[in-house]
Copies of this chain bind each other. A is one copy, B any other.
Amino acid sequence: MSIQEIKLKDLNAKEFIEEKAKEISSLVGSGAAINALSGGVDSSAVTMLGHKALGNRLKTYFINNGIMREGEPEKIVAMFEKLGVHVEVIDAQEQFFKALKGITDPEEKREAITQAFYKDVFGKLVRQSNAKYLLQGTILTDVDETVAGIKRQHNVFEQLGIDPQTTFGYKIIEPLVQLRKDGVRKVAEAAGLPKSIFNRMPFPGPALAARVIGEVTPEKIKIVRMATVIVEEELATSGAFQYMAILHNDRVTGMRDGKREFGLQMEIRCWDSIDARQAHPTKLSYETLIKLANRMTFEVPGVVSVTYNIASKPPSTMEAI
């Protein structure tokens, strides 16, 4: 199964939306479909397409995994409600933190989050629903590194705890699979999503868990969430490709009220990049850097040290883990 790429210059977003809505409609027929919305541009665009095609027969879930940014579930749900799309929030915080407990290896962390999402939480919702159609925001870039469609979709079923050999009728619909990120952004805009979504900064799948070095706990997520608010406020107008706060596991010495405090270090990364394949640290002014450091040390409990990344990718990567 080869996928026909639609390049940005050949994309008529309005026509694409009409066409994909028709396709979804004819595939699902009078049945029901289900999808998970993360608030990223891909899953947001798919939600709009699915809703256009199926209306209330598309059931959209937002899984609150506890490792999102400040106010994220509320903001996303409210934004979709305004567009007439109802989203149901599933509070799965405990399940995710339980899955992450004791894990320090980044790859194992990622795997634990994937497993918790597919098997424990979303898989259960899919199996319990009467929806046999699953809408997914896969884009061509996601496919590039894996083998052809059928094998890939088989993997998704496996992750969901659904055996396609014994459980018949489940189908995955991937309306964005011919597009790259730039195409998805254009479709998202044409579908009526606000700029805060269609122009959204890349954010990793493991969310704030990717911004905590070492074991992920509710306390550490709370700290890196506060730091993320500060970074996003201060760097919103920086024009950078991506920026982030990373909570280190190493402890460093600080001084508070004349007393030694073995405290936390927060690293700030802010990247200039065209396509994320190469990236360089943004040349932020010292005024901005000092302000960031001051806010981190005075507003985020326990932080006594703040650093700014000065390495490039490669050999660095955008995210720390």
Contact = CB atoms under 8 A, between A and B. Distances in A.
Contact of A310 (B290, B315, B320): B290
A278 to B, nearest CB: 10
A250 B214 contact: yes
Residues of A in contact with B, size category: 35 or more
Given A283-B286, A297-B315, A305-B316, A250 B310 contact: no
Interface string A85-125: 00000000000000000000010000000000000000000
Contacts of A286: 281, 283
A199 to B, nearest CB: 27
Nearest to A294: B312
Contacts of A274: none
- Residue from the set A268, A296, A312, A314 with the largest chain B CB neighbour count within 10 Å: A314
A283 B321 CA distance: 28
B317 A289 contact: no
Contacts of A292: 310
A253 B289 contact: no
Interface stretch (A57-65, A73-81, A161-169, A255-263): A255-263
A315 B261 contact: yes
A321 B254 contact: no
A248 interface: yes
A27 interface: no
A305 B321 CA distance: 11
A214 B294 CA distance: 26
A66 to B, nearest CB: 23
Contacts of A304: 311, 315-317
A184 interface: no
Contacts of A12: none
A152 interface: no
8 contacts: A106-B253, A213-B251, A253-B319, A256-B315, A304-B311, A305-B309, A306-B316, A307-B311
